[in-house]
Amino acid sequence: MTEWTEPAADDPFGLHNLPLCATRDGWVGVRAGELILNLGAAEEAGLLDAGGAFTRAGTLNRFLATGRPTWTRVREQLTDLFTGLSTGTAGAPHRAAVEAMLHPVAGTALALPFEVADYVDFYSSEEHAKNLSRLFRPDSPSLLPNWKSLPIGYHGRAGTVVVSGTDVPRPHGQRKAPDEERPSFGPSRRLDIEAELGFVVGAPSTGPVGVDDFRAHVYGAVLVNDWSARDIQAWEYQPLGPFLGKSFATSVSPWVVSLDALEPARAAAPVQDPPVLDYLREAERYSYDIRFEVFWNGTLVSRPPYAGIYWTPAQQLAHLTANGAWARTGDLYASGTISGATPEETGSFIERTWNGAHPVRLDDGSTRSFLEDGDTVTISAAARCAGGPADGTMIGFGEVRGTVVTRV
Ligand code: MN
């Protein structure tokens, strides 16, 4: 039996967060401090009511599909349950029953938290778009004419979304450097990362989702590493967009942080100029103050800031369904690489090293421009609450980690 201990008020995984997960043992849970409550067991015991969505569930999909009234009710039930445990109002026998359902975070193997339906990746950081344009198309204007008119994106590969900790075999493909006469096939020589925030659709739609209906459909967010083979990408992406340079693997963090938890971390989104079309115009426009850190073999190399993203997740969902496409439970759509104004705030290594012109020095004395086999990348993030009683408190996302291995 695991003894309940109340997480500290400033714990990034304190009771203001309550992120959800799925385990390799086939049950779903909620994190409180360093413990995970088995939600299926708790529901079967009558400690909470998600309409059966947690009972014998191996992923979060059934709960995601229930929609916002149930999400809100369950969050309140969980808060009451944990608060009751801490204050003792739940009673001693009750406490023993709950403790039988608690598992330490350390030692619990986590799985992909939800079955991914469709995966879309956007391109919504203005600094990143400008940097990539300079690197890929040095002779063209820094932003293409459509960039400030619509959130640019592409459909990725849902079947290769993997949970943090999964090794990433180096992709093979066609590549042709500018100084090479002919393309060749082989392992990528310019393997990179993209630090992103991914949004998880819960309640489905049978048509367009209005820009102000974002919170009715989206449950929460995860961290995303959109691994990218720049040499394969550069040779294939014109005229139809990213394909095999991206689809070999996309890593996500195991914790799904709810939009409810992120509410106190709302931040102003950039003013859009020129004004957007009506279907993208928000009654209330906001982003989230989420601060990322990127570690290369343990060395902190960048701190990308999410708050300044040009296209908000509400606009992204409105745009991706504007043609009549349905939103489905388990849809994952990512922000696009998050980059700030300085090299130390960029969310990819091609930007951080300026295509290898400025390699980074790691703590072990080695230098890097692109990923080598055996390299581990860890992206972590936390949202910062502003104002109110939670002012300054962090909401943890944990991390998304992956190691590049030689493909056999
Ligand atoms: Mn990306």
- 11 in a structural domain: no
- The answer to whether residues 140 and 176 belong to one domain is yes
Output the tens digit of pLDDT for each of the chain's 408 residues.
789 999 999 999 999 999 999 999 999 999 999 999 999 999 999 999 999 999 999 999 999 999 999 999 999 999 999 999 988 876 666 888 999 999 999 999 999 999 999 999 999 999 999 999 998 888 888 899 999 999 999 999 999 999 999 999 999 999 998 899 999 999 999 999 999 999 999 999 999 999 999 999 999 999 999 999 999 999 999 999 999 999 999 999 999 999 999 999 999 999 999 999 999 999 999 999 999 999 999 999 999 999 999 999 999 999 999 999 999 999 999 999 999 999 999 999 999 999 999 999 999 999 999 999 999 999 999 999 998 888 899 999 999 999 999 987
Q: Give me the residues near ligand 1 (ion), CB cutoff below 5 Å.
A: 121, 194, 226
Residues 71 and 105 both lie in one domain? yes
Residue 1 is assigned to a structural domain of this protein: no
Q: Tell which of 79, 111, 143 closes a domain.
A: 111
Full domain range(s) for residue 94:
20-111
Tell me if 283 is assigned to some domain.
Answer: yes
Whether residues 93 and 139 fall in one domain: no
| Residue 110 CA to ligand 1 centre (angstroms) | 24
CA distance 48 to 339: 41
Q: Which of 16, 94, 103, 128 is catalytic?
A: 128
| Pairing, β 299-302 against β 290-296 | antiparallel
Q: Separation of 32 CA from ligand 1 center, angstroms?
A: 31
Total domain count for the chain?
2
pTM, entire model: 0.97
Q: Give the C-alpha separation, 197 to 397, whole Å.
A: 10
In a domain, 261, yes or no: yes
Does 205 lie in the same domain as 66?
no
| 191 and 83 part of one domain | no
Same domain, 28 and 161: no
Kindly state the greatest CA–CA separation across the chain: 76
C-alpha to C-alpha distance for 283 and 276, rounded to whole angstroms: 13
Q: Does residue 128 carry a catalytic annotation?
A: yes
**CATH number for the domain that contains residue 329:** 3.90.850.10
